[in-house]
Amino acid sequence: MTRNTFTTSDGTQIYYKDWGDGPVVTFSHGWPLNADAWDGQMHFLASHGFRVIAHDRRGHGRSSQPSSGNDMNGYADDLAQLIEMLDLKDISMVGHSTGGGEVVRYIGRHGTRRVSRAVLIGAVPPVMLKSAANPEGLPIDVFDGIREGVAGDRSQFYKDLAIPFYGANRDGAKVSAGLLEQFWLWSMQSGQKNAYECVKAFSETDFTEDLKRIDVPTLFIHGEDDQIVPVHNSAKKAARLVNNAREIYYPGAPHGLTATLQDRVNADLLAFLRA
């Protein structure tokens, strides 16, 4: 395990980690976390013969906190520069939540010349915000409330957000205090301005045309009790826009299912990557 950074074309320092050898899998994390959110998947796949790479999105984790570029185009272009810098090929791209949007926008902007397949877990596409064209979406008040939380007492806001993120507010949920505290720690490592501006990126970006450009095998994994990115307005719609998409839905599972159902997600990932 090595600590690496690279500098983007606009001078942003991006942290990434690169473990193992074999077919390449890249991971794009959710808001407002960082690459460590993928450790359970990365360690597992590295031990099963894959090279796994995850970066901290600009403004998050150990990457620098630039004043600009905090939008889906900026995120996708950062990922493209990492892929070009490492000269990665035949990549399986995995994205969770906002990271799923990052993967889809990467393909929309940069194509699939270096990509062999995609996995979207609890991902935000096609678009989260409610509108006349998307009446099932979440109203703008929801995202204004998130922005208010980030701009105000963000420490308490993140503590509160961790509970529905992992479904700890559901009867019978088994979510450790450590997992909730870890969410808070990772969230507090994001820049306040960056996290605030990312809310617009993940909620208002329309990925419809990007999804239509996906021409590689694609797997959608989503929790049916996702309280953050409701399944019927995300995966259920997005999968219809991707040719030959495969869908796996976990009954009763929350948004943070990569942690709460780590073993099941790992098994489904491995099966798809080896197919």
pLDDT per position as a tens digit, 156-195: 999 999 999 999 999 999 999 999 999 999 999 999 999 9
Q: Which of 190, 234, 255, 268 is flagged as catalytic?
A: 255
Contact of 51 with 21, CB cutoff 8 Å: yes
Entry pTM: 0.97
Q: Which of 63, 97, 203, 234 is flagged as catalytic?
A: 97
Contact of 50 with 94, CB cutoff 8 Å: no
Domain that residue 161 falls in: 4-274
3 confidence band (pLDDT: 50, 70, 90): low
For residue 2, CA distances in Å to 35, 58, 176, 258 come to 13, 19, 29, 23
- CATH number for the domain harbouring residue 31: 3.40.50.1820
HSE, CB side, 13 Å, CA atoms: give it for residue 67.
Answer: 0
φ/ψ region of 165 (left if φ > 0, alpha if ψ in -120 to 50, else beta) reads alpha
What's the number of domains the chain is made of? 1
CA gap 225, 47 in Å, rounded = 30
255 catalytically annotated: yes
Q: Which of 77, 78, 210, 226 is flagged as catalytic?
A: 226
pLDDT of 1 strictly over 80: no
Q: What is the pLDDT of residue 244?
A: 87
39 catalytically annotated: no
